[in-house]
Amino acid sequence: MTDLPPGAPTPWAAPPAGTVTVYRGATLFDGTGAPLRPNTTIVTDGARLHTVVGDGDPLPPHAADAPRVDLAGRFVVPGLIDTHQHLATPPDRPVAEAVLRRLVHSGVTAVRDMADDLRHIGDLARATLVGEIPGPDIRYAALMAGPSFFDDPRTHEVSRGAVPGAVPWMQAVTPDTDLPIAVALARGTHAAAIKVYADLDAATVAAVTAEAHRQGIAVWAHATVFPAAPGEVVAAGVDSVSHVTLLAFEDPTEPLSSYKTKPRVDYDRFAAGDAPELAALFAEMRRRGTVLDATASMWTSGELRGDTAESAERAARNADLAAVLTAQAHRAGVDVCTGTDHETDPDDPFPALYGELAFLADRCGIPAAEVLRSATLVGARAAGTEADMGSVEPGKLADFAVLDENPLHDIGNLRTIAFTVRRGRRFDRAEFEKDTQ
């Protein structure tokens, strides 16, 4: 057929292959672990990085007459990755689009959506990918949990028009579940992973993980699944675990019966930051390559602080717990990625991810270079996109952020962002600020 209508406009689409741009004079943090590279030239071709060389090195022939962008005095870092977003609980398209727009204009070029209404998320992912709306790439998970979890009101919000627990993106799992069919249904949503959430025992977590891996998709799990404890979740072979405070349920003093009946946390057990009951767990995570999606700063959010003295005290204690456990995990060599699980207010000019990175640096004592690695290369590993994202190297997607100040001197210098390049398409911070005034 040759008479199809053109479809929706795609003003934020990646440029086609053969569209070459030369960025010269940058100081580059490439995300590979190498030191800062001054006087660096980056050549993009369409959506990909073609060449990364010194300013004095010869350019590829096809770049000889390409447009130049002078980055002298500026700093380039790989595109940032928020590994724990929820863009559709409940679905609200204008709110989600505003979040995505702010993210991409803040240097965030990819996110993991950790289970929502995938009817909504799938369309947002398509829209950002083809350029109908501005935003990062979106990788997302379909959720599996025990049947008792599905009276949670959030499951009803993301399953409107259907039955929570009986839809492909939100499935109740029992010992009688046909897991090959269940995983195939989840894959049919185009999910990149299964999210294992709650109310499943260790054997079921292991069975879900094995079947998901057999079918070629990842498993992103809560660090405690109740009754499955952290060590059992890691032993099941999941690819990443979320929420560092849930690691406090390793070697519990009370039974882990269900998600809704969590035992109380003995904060004093972990206050010194060297909990022996976690040393073996962290060693096993390092051995397996299990990524920790710490969401360390989420207890500093206004939503979790609440409006009572009791809720504020609980949030403060959990923030302290998150800081000491994340620091211990990092010292043990566990890869930590940067998820948020919350967003800043709509009128805040910057996303919650900046707060997560600051928390890792200021409260957890992680050096800025390693925080940036967590937000880039480790984040790509957690999302299953390391081949395309996470570092500024030839062949990868042309995803990077340009800053006016050095983020290794102060992670807060991310706020000096001048523009983002995502899949080779430029997103100027000044345009975002002008449009939001």
Same-domain status, 399 and 256: no
Structural domain includes residue 134 = yes
* Number of domains making up the chain: 2
Contacts of 288 (CB under 8 A, 6+ apart): 234, 237
Q: Hey, what are 150's tokens? A: 């599905």
14 in a domain, yes or no?
no
Q: Are residues 40 and 111 in the same domain?
A: no
- CATH code: domain of residue 159: 3.20.20.140
Taking the chain, what is the end-to-end CA distance rounded to the nearest angstrom?
45
Q: Mean pLDDT across the stretch 4-25? A: 95
- Cα 418 from Cα 436, distance rounded (Å): 16
Q: Which two tokens stand for residue 331?
A: 């010292």
pLDDT confidence of residue 332: 97
Let me know whether 184 and 68 are in one domain: no
Between CA 203 and CA 104 the distance in angstroms is: 40
**Judgement on whether residues 26 and 170 belong to the same structural domain of the protein:** no
Helices (H), 105-256: 118-130, 153-157, 179-187, 202-214, 230-235
User: For residue 55, what is the domain's CATH number?
Assistant: 2.30.40.10
Residues 304, 318 within the same domain? yes
Measure CA 315 to chain center: 22
Extract the runs of DSSP E, i.e. beta strands, from 55-125. Answer: 68-70, 75-78, 80-85, 108-113
Beta-bridge partner residues of 172:
145
Same domain membership, residue 98 and residue 71: no
User: Per-residue pLDDT averaged across 5-30, rounded?
Assistant: 96
Both tokens of 372, joined, read 């940036």
The pLDDT score that the predictor gives to residue 1 is 53
Write out the two tokens for 341: 């699980």
Residues 410, 274 share a domain: no
Q: Decide if 112 is inside a domain.
A: yes
Residue 390, Cα to own-chain centre: how many angstroms? 11
Domain with 38, as residue range(s), is: 20-77+394-436
Q: Which of 343, 358, 383 is the last residue of a domain?
A: 383
Predicted confidence (pLDDT) at residue 21 exceeds the cutoff of 70 = yes
Q: Under 8 Å CB-to-CB from 11, ≥6 apart: which residues?
A: 131
| Mean pLDDT calculated for residue range 154-158 | 96
Is 170 in a helix, a strand, or coil?
strand
- Per residue in 96-137, pLDDT (tens digit) is 999 999 999 999 999 999 999 999 999 999 999 999 999 999
Query: Residue 209's pLDDT is what?
Result: 98
The structure tokens listed for 224 are 């405690």
d(CA 258, CA 226): 5
The backbone region for 38, taken as left when phi is positive above 0, alpha when psi lies in -120 to 50, beta otherwise, is: beta
pLDDT digit string (tens) for 54-70?
A: 999 999 999 999 999 99
- The CA distance from 374 to 366, in Å, is 10
Tens of pLDDT, residues 398-424: 999 999 999 999 999 999 999 999 999
- The closest alpha carbon to 44, from 69, 27, 25, belongs to 69
Say whether the peptide bond before residue 227 is cis (omega within 30 degrees of 0). Answer: yes
**Helix H or strand E encompassing 46:** none
- Is residue 44 situated within a structural domain? yes
- Confidence at 302, pLDDT banded by 50, 70, 90: confident
Note whether 132 and 71 are same-domain residues.
no
Q: Which pLDDT score, from 0 to 100, does residue 7 have? A: 87
Q: Which residue, chain included where needed, has tokens 């799938």?
A: 122
% the chain with pLDDT above 90: 93
Among 116-130, 295-309, 360-374, 403-417, whose mean pLDDT is lowest?
A: 295-309
Alpha carbons 159 and 169: distance in angstroms, whole number = 9
Q: Is pLDDT above 80 for 377?
A: yes
